[in-house]
Amino acid sequence: MRLVREDDSILDHMLTKRERDYCAGKRQQFAHVAARFAAKEAVLKAFGTGIARRMAWTDVEIVKGRGGRPEVCLHGEVAAWAARRGLADIDVSLSHSAGLAVAQAVAVWRDKNGSIAGREQPDAVPSD
């Protein structure tokens, strides 16, 4: 990443310490940095916000979960915003290879009643 090579302090604004430590231990450090940046952008786009004034890139953290699966941890203003709007879950997928990093995020929301949006709730349980 040209930007990081020109000013490596930019990583302090883009990645949490945990993310920086993870990427630093990888053979293709910049590919892992780029994938995390792409994932953060995908999460904010899934929220329909992009980066807002009080939000920071470090408010969205991509961590290695069980079995190596990437997981999203929200902090600060992003966590507060998501909680106010009823975020139920967020899933993220990222990939990188020779000069290309991509990510996709899917956000699942609760409706006003606390149900997962888009899931029909039966009025009654059918009996046999």
- For the segment 1-20, the average pLDDT, to the nearest whole number, is 79
Task: Give me the pLDDT at residue 121, please.
Answer: 46
Tell me the range of 5-14, 48-57, 86-95 where mean pLDDT is highest: 86-95
**Domains observed in the chain:** 2-109 (3.90.470.20)
* Strands 60-64 and 70-74, sheet pairing: antiparallel
pLDDT mean over 1-26? 82
Lowest mean pLDDT across 24-33, 79-88, 98-107, 118-127: 118-127
Q: What's residue 119's pLDDT?
A: 54
The per-residue pLDDT of the chain, averaged, comes to: 85
Q: Which residues contact 114 (CB under 8 A, 6 or more apart)?
A: 86
* Residue count of the chain: 128
pTM for this model (two decimals) = 0.82
Question: Which residues carry out catalysis?
Answer: 45, 96
Structure confidence by residue, pLDDT tens digits, 57-110: 999 999 999 899 999 999 999 999 999 999 999 999 999 987 899 999 999 998
- The DSSP line for the chain is -HHHHH-TTHHHHHS-HHHHHHHHTSTTHHHHHHHHHHHHHHHHHHTT--S-TT--GGGEEEEE-GGG-EEEEE-HHHHHHHHHHTEEEEEEEEEEETTEEEEEEEEEEB-TTSSBTTPPPPSS----
- Residue 41's pLDDT is 93
